[in-house]
Amino acid sequence: MNDNKKIHILFVCMGNICRSPTAQGVFRDMVEKQGMGDFIATDSAGTIDYHSGSKPDRRARETALKRGLDLSDLRARIVTAEDFEQFDYVVAMDKANYADLQALCPPGREERLHLFLDFAPQQPIREVPDPYYGGVAGFDRVFDLVEEASRGLLEQIVSHHFA
């Protein structure tokens, strides 16, 4: 590692109880397994504050546990304009969240904003669907998409910041 600066990643969805904490947990696990926990930090937030302080949705936690990840330490919070100063990557789960983040983004920080599935260019869809009103299968699908995009994001970070 030739860069002493820690890279900070923020995953954002609407309520911060389904998609973004799943993304944070999956990505955090990948980072740890690569031995890069000292170099990359993660967080997640929502564009609305309906669930601030809450654990991730039970179905998201159960889906993660089935795959060996524990999300119970995560708590929902709302995204702020200051997050664009602290985080090197602000990663939106869908286009609506992306638009909300664009409106919040301070001038000069636009390059930090990304759509998550842009890191999985082989995926035919561009948005991680919100599983909240669906069944368990939706949470499994989100987990699969998040894993794929997380691999691409980690590759991007390593090649751009640590190569």
pLDDT per position as a tens digit, 57-79: 999 999 999 999 999 999 999 99
User: Which member of 18, 19, 29, 43 is catalytic?
Assistant: 19
Is the pLDDT assigned to residue 104 strictly greater than 50? yes
Q: What percent of the chain lies above the pLDDT cut of 90?
A: 94
Please confirm, yes or no, whether 70 is among the known catalytic residues. no
Q: Supply the pLDDT for residue 1.
A: 36
Q: Supply the pLDDT for residue 5.
A: 86
For the chain, the residue count is 163
Q: In what order do the strands lie in the sheet with 113-115?
A: 40-46, 7-13, 89-92, 113-115
User: Which member of 29, 43, 83, 130 is catalytic?
Assistant: 130
Residue 67 within a domain: yes
Residue 127 within a domain: yes
| Percent helix, percent strand, percent coil in the chain, to nearest 5 | 45, 15, 40
Residue 66 within a domain: yes
Is the pLDDT assigned to residue 4 strictly greater than 60? no
Residue 103 within a domain: yes
150-160 pLDDT, tens digit each: 999 999 999 99
Q: Token pair for residue 135?
A: 């069944």
Residue 65 within a domain: yes
Of the pLDDT bands very low, low, confident and very high (cuts 50, 70, 90), residue 113 is very high
User: Which member of 13, 29, 94, 100 is catalytic?
Assistant: 13
Residue 30 within a domain: yes
Domain that holds residue 67: 7-162
Please confirm, yes or no, whether 59 is among the known catalytic residues. no
Rounded to an integer, the average pLDDT of 106-117 is 97
Please confirm, yes or no, whether 83 is among the known catalytic residues. no
Residue 2 within a domain: no
Please state the domain count of the chain: 1
127-147 pLDDT, tens digit each: 999 999 988 999 999 999 999
Q: Supply the pLDDT for residue 14.
A: 97
| CATH number, residue 66 | 3.40.50.2300
Q: What percent of the chain lies above the pLDDT cut of 70?
A: 98
Residue 17 within a domain: yes
What sign for the dihedral angle of Cα 120, 107, 46, 66?
positive
Q: Supply the pLDDT for residue 13.
A: 98
Q: Token pair for residue 112?
A: 């930090």
Return d(Cα 23, Cα 12) in angstroms, integer: 9
